[in-house]
């Protein structure tokens, strides 16, 4: 059933980080119902329900949020919930009559999770934005990429999902812990700019002690160091080397046939370009497969660069069952793993409103009320 079995979550349908946060809770056993509008939103890239993996393990109820009866229906569900998750622009939930004050008055133990890019307040709070904008403002984007080149875009992993979803999930569970220990419900304000800045804590440490340059591509873990780098192979593929610690670096050199005595010292940053050139030439002398045969599984801190399709078939990923095929669709498996209350994919994604009747019945509505709500157009199955 998962470690969160018994928790009831109401998720206001949206895109990106809020749905991903709700998926994490659902994977760990929470009962998540997604409040969809009667008509699908036109924002984001349309995804057929069966491939909409962020909505796995959830059920969908379609409600007219602009009607008074629709609002009361949502409040009725929230009254029975432990957690509410919403990812709208600040003020939208208030205008819908579903703001924190109203919801917490209905349910004093509710954990009200809010996901935004800029935060609930501040000069930019009402401006539109996406992951790339948020990580730009926090300094994260400027730190990624090679010297002399434009910053590298790290998909939308750093902002939306790392700085956003994961911080919201952590905050929600911390607030639930407080409630379970006799505390009151509260609002969890998760802003992507807050979370992303927090992710940079180690870089702030290095920078303030003089060990991190603001010049992109000149530091140990940003492509500056030759022993922490991506190298091209003779077949046009790529491999990664991350032999930061001296003992791992020395093992790498031994396995690829180089002598430390004949090379610049590992810690000599001024000699990194020369060392990188030497390693580049060497790694381009063999194919990716040949380097895998020589280095994979050793302490040289090595891995090949694989695409999504290739990584599914890799022996390590296959052994760990990192990918699961459910009804013909590949899913990254739930994470992390639990020894006694394992997470699982219990349900494939629902279409909008697919579970309306069942949700209302399970959450306390009688059949007459359900049929009335349908007849009046408040909900849709």
Q: Which residues pair with 30 in a beta bridge?
A: none
- Is residue 235 part of the annotated active site? The answer reads no
Q: Are 199 and 163 in contact (CB under 8 A)?
A: yes
CB proximity list for 379: less than 8 A, separation 6 or greater: 61, 62, 63, 64, 70, 73, 353, 356, 360, 370, 373
Q: Which two tokens stand for residue 44?
A: 């984001």
Give me the phi and psi of 146, to 5 degrees please.
Answer: -100, 155
DSSP assignment, residue 373?
A: H
Give me the phi and psi of 39, to 5 degrees please.
Answer: -120, 135
Given 130, 271, 314, 323, the catalytic residue: 130
- Give residue for tokens 């077949």: 235
Residue 148 CA: distances (Å) to CA of 137, 145, 171: 20, 9, 38
Given 82, 160, 189, 355, the catalytic residue: 160
How far apart are alpha carbons 357 and 379 in whole angstroms? 9
CB proximity list for 316: less than 8 A, separation 6 or greater: none
How far apart are alpha carbons 61 and 74 in whole angstroms? 10
Secondary-structure percent of the chain, ordered helix, strand, coil, rounded to 5: 40, 15, 45
Q: Which two tokens stand for residue 356?
A: 């309306």
- Is residue 160 part of the annotated active site? The answer reads yes
Q: Which residues pair with 58 in a beta bridge?
A: 32
Per DSSP, helices labelled H in 200-314 are: 201-208, 246-256, 272-283, 288-295, 308-313
Catalytic residues: 130, 160
């Amino acid at each position: 059933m998962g470690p969160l079995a018994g928790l009831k979550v109401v998720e206001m349908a949206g895109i990106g980080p809020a749905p991903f946060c709700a998926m994490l809770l659902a994977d760990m056993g929470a009962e998540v119902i997604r409040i969809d509008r009667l008509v699908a939103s036109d924002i984001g890239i349309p995804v057929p329900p069966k491939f909409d993996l962020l909505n796995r393990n959830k059920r969908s109820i379609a409600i007219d949020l602009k009607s008074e009866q629709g609002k009361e229906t949502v409040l009725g569900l929230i009254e029975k919930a432990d957690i509410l998750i919403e990812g709208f622009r600040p003020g939208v939930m208030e205008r819908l009559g579903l703001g924190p004050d109203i919801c917490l008055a209905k349910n004093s133990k509710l954990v009200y999770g809010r996901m935004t890019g800029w935060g609930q307040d501040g000069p930019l709070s009402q401006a539109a934005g996406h992951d790339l904008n948020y990580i730009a403002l926090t300094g994260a984007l400027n730190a990624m990429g090679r010297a002399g080149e434009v910053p590298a875009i790290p998909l939308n992993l750093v902002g939306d999902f790392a700085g956003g979803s994961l911080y919201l999930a952590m905050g929600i569970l911390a607030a639930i812990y407080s409630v379970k220990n006799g505390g009151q419900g509260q609002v969890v304000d998760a802003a992507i700019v807050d979370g992303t800045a927090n992710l940079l804590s180690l870089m702030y440490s290095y920078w303030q002690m003089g060990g991190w340059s603001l010049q992109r591509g000149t530091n140990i873990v940003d492509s500056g160091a030759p022993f922490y780098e991506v190298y091209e192979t003779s077949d046009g593929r790529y491999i990664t080397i991350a032999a930061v610690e001296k003992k791992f670096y020395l093992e790498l050199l031994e396995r690829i046939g180089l002598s430390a005595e004949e090379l610049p010292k590992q810690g000599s940053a001024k000699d990194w370009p020369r060392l990188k050139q030497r390693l580049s030439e060497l790694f381009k002398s063999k194919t990716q497969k040949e380097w895998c045969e020589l280095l994979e599984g050793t302490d040289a801190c090595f891995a090949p660069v694989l695409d999504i399709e290739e990584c599914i078939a890799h022996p390590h990923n296959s052994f760990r069952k990192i990918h699961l095929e459910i009804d013909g669709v590949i899913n990254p498996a739930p994470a992390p793993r639990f020894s006694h209350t394992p997470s699982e994919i219990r349900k494939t994604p629902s279409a909008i409103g697919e579970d309306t009747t069942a949700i209302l019945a399970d959450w306390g509505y009688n059949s007459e009320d359900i049929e009335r709500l349908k007849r009046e157009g408040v909900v849709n199955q």
